[in-house]
A and B are shown apart, each in its own frame.
Chain A
Amino acid sequence: MAEELDKAEQRFLHGCPLVESAGSYVVHCNRDSYYELCRNLREDGYAMPVGVTGVDYLTHPGRDLPDGIEAERFEVVVELLSLVAHKRIRVRCQVPGNDPTVPSLFELWPGTEAHERETYDMFGVVFEGHPDMSRILMPEDWEGHPLRKDYETGEIPVQFKEARK
């Protein structure tokens, strides 16, 4: 599949640009094609969801993206594994910062459930259709999403007199 495609040209997988990044295959998509792409990958035999995570590109907007993919603030990164074909693929989905919602992959891989909750907890990306979109690592009443780049890390006040000078 991926290997059969011509290296010289821009390669596509299910209509989404496919690139090679540090030895792994990465397929880029935007929010509209995300679920469709993932469903096709599921049918291709990527049976195991290795993980779902997010990246907040707020302070690093000029990253390298293939043609036709508009850079947005958030990215949802899905790592998939095909045990039969011994192949891995990574899906990078662009998610706009002013409306961070993407469809949930729970229907395709139930194992994404905890990972999507974690991504929601850390980045505030809402997964539509997720059965239990609650926080998982932070307390229930926590405000804000800690792994966002505009989240204040803050300081603990120094208690010692000598250090205050």
Chain B
Amino acid sequence: MTEPRIVADPPPGAEPSPEYTTTESGNAKPTLLDRLLGRVPASSTDMDVMLQAKTGEGSQELEPRHSSSPTQYGIETGSRLALAEGLSLDREDLDVEVPEDESMILNLGPSHPSTHGVLRVMVEIDGETVLRTKPVIGYLHTGMEKTAEELMFHQGCTNVTRMDYLSPFFNELGFCLSVEKLLDIEIPPRAVWIRMLMCELNRVSSHLLWLATNGADIGALNMLVYGWREREMVLAFFEKVTGLRMNHNYFRPGGVAADLPDGWRDDVAALCEAIPRRMDEYDELLTGQPILQKRLVGVGPLDADTAISLGVTGPLLRSTGVAWDLRRDNPYLAYDEVDFDVIVGTNGDCWDRYAIRFNEIRESIHIVSQIAEKMPSGDFRTQDKKVTPPPRGRIDESMEALIHHFKLYTEGFRVPPGEAYVPVESPRGESGCYIVSDGSSRPYRMHMRSASFSNLQAMAPMTRGSLIADAIAIVSTIDPVLGDVDR
């Protein structure tokens, strides 16, 4: 670890130059931009606060062995996890037998098809064996949490839906549930069940895509085509309901944007009929295949304690034998009214993660068919006029409705001050939106807790000592979505 250093440190005893003093004594408060452009003296006390901007503080990359600290070295070798407090790590205990000059540091990514986006993994290898791993992320960072502070609450879903782009409904759901928690409004039962329907189908489409790319990563290339094909069936249904295949902006605070279209039951019935049948075919195609088993069984094992202390959730955590599913253990929406199993593994290896996702597709379809049976009738969004605009028909005939509509879309609705975090079980694990409101119509702060971000930390302990080809299988079974990791 390199020491943080302060940029543009004032030289000792330096006098502020006269040309700067005008800005400082003026009414306008100097901003960070002024500081960066050199309009204010570096010695100004106000600026000291901003100058906590200690930049250039250290490399994000995997450093050569001799220049990384023991703890960091421990993280990278995947062993620095269960030390009792007060114990420090001895580098000698960790050193692999290969001397440093015989190993090589190699970049995987950021653009490689098997890295699922722009994940860059730096590995130190001895021949084919991985000695150390460090994921380097941020290539897809677009500042969505900052953007969210500029968007009104009813616009927020447009933003968050783009984070985890393979399971957009879960982002929207996390955002909406937090906003609704702050607003303290109840949403009508039909909206709850529509949300559940869309979320479970989304879990199916996300896992199908995972099945496809996982197949491609480990050599079962035909699965790539089949997985995308089945996912497209689900996306076609999403398009019919929301108008878009991805990035739906369908869940809104207070309910959903539109009711289900006519004939949705037939579409859902067709999906519930087709997908389990296809899953049986893929079971036959993949599960018994010796090559696939060789690539997955016993590869990248993770134990439960490590997973929990790393904040790993979702199928990764369940593969280690921890039966933790927020749908069952912390029910939201109406998951306590449907019947489903939580799929749990035992060994925490790639094979368990494969089996869990595979069977979760079946379980989700089982939930979907129950939802289609139990779907209540009624409103699809709350009748609370504070958050719901008047129906389109009313705008033509009522002046009040027009004004109300106009006010709602120009000023937004105000959310009482406070903070809320409601977790949901996304296909990748616990996802949720931490929202701080200051009483205005925009979030004061919005933070998305993304499952992929935490799960990626499990990469180093899982890849330790494995072959480089297995590292690809491990990345694949972590199933990170880089839009969600980087936000």
Question: Which A residues contact B (CB, under 8 angstroms)?
Answer: 21-24, 26, 39, 47-51, 53, 55-56, 59-60, 63-64, 77, 79, 83, 86, 88, 90, 97-98, 100, 106-115, 118, 122, 124, 126, 131-147, 150-154
Contact = CB atoms under 8 A, between A and B. Distances in A.
A56 B52 CA distance: 14
A111 B312 contact: yes
B57 A135 contact: yes
Interface of B: 1, 4, 7, 31-33, 36, 48-50, 52-60, 69, 71-72, 74-75, 80-81, 85, 137-138, 141, 143, 145-146, 150, 181-182, 308-313, 322, 324, 329-330, 417-421, 423, 430, 434, 436, 438, 444-445, 447, 449, 453-454, 456-457, 486-487
B336 to A, nearest CB: 14
Contacts, number: 166
5 contacts: A47-B309, A79-B449, A107-B85, A134-B60, A143-B53
A109 B57 contact: no
A22 B182 contact: yes
Contacts of A109: 309, 311
Contacts of A115: 311, 453-454
Given A83-B324, A135-B57, A48 B48 contact: no
A145 B143 CA distance: 11
Contacts of A151: 32
Given A22-B182, A50-B430, A133-B57, 20 more contacts: A22-B420, A49-B309, A53-B449, A77-B434, A83-B308, A83-B322, A97-B49, A107-B85, A110-B81, A110-B457, A115-B311, A115-B453, A131-B69, A134-B1, A135-B60, A136-B60, A143-B53, A144-B53, A145-B52, A147-B445
A150 B434 CA distance: 21
Contacts of B58: 132-134, 140
In this complex, the member of A90, A144, A147 whose beta carbon has the largest number of chain B beta carbons within 10 angstroms is A144
B78 to A, nearest CB: 10
A118 B448 CA distance: 12
Given A111-B454, A137-B486, A147-B145, A63 B7 contact: no
B381 to A, nearest CB: 21
In this complex, the member of B36, B81, B423 whose beta carbon has the largest number of chain A beta carbons within 10 angstroms is B423
Contacts of A63: 417, 438
A21 B486 contact: no
B382 to A, nearest CB: 18
A140 B417 contact: no
B309 A110 contact: yes
A151 B56 CA distance: 18
A145 B456 CA distance: 23
B311 A49 contact: yes
A137 B36 contact: no
A144 B49 contact: no
A46 B312 CA distance: 14
A21 B181 CA distance: 10
B455 to A, nearest CB: 10
A26 B434 CA distance: 13
B145 A21 contact: no
In this complex, the member of B141, B311, B430 whose beta carbon has the largest number of chain A beta carbons within 10 angstroms is B311
B431 to A, nearest CB: 11
Contacts of A21: 418-420
Contacts of B434: 51, 53, 77, 79
